[in-house]
Amino acid sequence: MTDDAGARPLRVVLATAPDDALGGVFWRAYRDADGPPLAAVFAVAGKVRPRGPVWQRAATPLLLCGVGGCLRLAAAAARLPRGRDRAAGLHLRREQAWPGTPEVHAVASLNASIEQLRALRPDVLVSVGAPEIFRAAVLEVPRVAAVNVHNGRLPLYRGSFGTFWEMMEGEPAGYVSIHEMVPKVDAGRLLASFPVAMGPSSDFLDVMVEKKRRGGALLAELLRQVEREGRLPAGMLGEGTPADRTGLFPMPAFTDVRAFARRRRARA
C-alpha cells in the first residue's frame, strides 16, 4: 500500500474496552482470516456506572446465559474450556489473539488522548466495544477512516447491546455490522454485515460467540480490501441495508433482562 509518507503496511489502531470476556474469540477469528496486524491499541476505561444493586448485577448473566452458559464462561476464565468453546478460542485473552505486537495505551478517554492518537499516524481507527462516543476531531485523525464493529443489524438496532434487543424482539437472525463512524451514534455508512441464525431455543452465549467469530473474520476481510485499494469499499460486504428507524436502543435495565428471560421461556 502507498500513501504520502511512502510505502508502508496499513496502520490499524484499535480502540476497545479494557476487559472483554469474548475478545479472544473475535481476535482469533480476525487473525485466522489474515487480518492486518494492529499497530497500537487504546484500552479506553470510560466511565463505569454500576447499574442496580449487586444482586441484580450477579443475576443478569444467569438470566441471559443460564446456568450452563455461566459455567462455560467460568471454565473459559479458568482456561479449562471444552470442545467447541476451545475451538472458538473462548479461553484466549485478547492479548494472546491480537495480530502483531501492538503498543498498548491505557487511557481514560480517547477523546482526551487525541495527540497520542495523532502521533501514531493511523490509516484506520477501529472501535470494538470502546466505551465512549468519539468526537469529530478523533474521527478525522485516521488517514482512511474510522470504523466500528457493532453487534446488531444496522440501522435497525442502533445503540447498545444489539444482540439482546434482536433476541428480545424474536428476530430470526442477529447481525454483526461494520460501519464508518460519524459523530452521530451508529449512523455512518454501512460497510459490511453478516447474519447469524437465531430461533426461540437459541442459546444466548452461542449467538454472542458466533457473532464474535463472524465479526473478526468480517473485519479482516474489510481491512484487507482497504490495504489493497487504499480506501473503504465502494459497495457493502454481505447483506443488504434494511429500512431506517429512529431512536437508539438503550443498555437494558434489569426489568428488561427479566422480561427477556420470561419471553424466551414462553417462546421455547
Cα gap 238→178, rounded to integer Å? 10
- 111-128 residue pLDDT tens: 999 999 999 999 999 999
Cα gap 14→117, rounded to integer Å? 10
Residue 3: its pLDDT value, please?
44
| pTM > 0.85 | yes
In this structure, which topology does domain 2-267 adopt according to CATH? Rossmann fold (3.40.50)
**CA-only gyration radius of the chain, Å:** 18
Residue 2: its pLDDT value, please?
42
Residue 57: its pLDDT value, please?
87
Transcribe 112-145 into DSSP letters. GGHHHHHHT--SEEEEES-SSPPPHHHHTSSSSE
Residue 5: its pLDDT value, please?
41
Which residue ranges make up each domain of the chain? 2-267
Residue 157: its pLDDT value, please?
94
Cα gap 205→62, rounded to integer Å? 11
- 3-62 residue pLDDT tens: 444 457 899 999 999 988 899 999 999 999 999 999 999 999 976 666 778 888 889 999
Residue 54, classed as helix, strand or coil, is helix
Residues of the chain with pLDDT under 50: 1-6
* Residue 184: alpha-carbon gap to chain centroid: 18
Q: What share of the chain is helix, strand, coil (3-state, %, to 5)?
A: 40, 20, 40
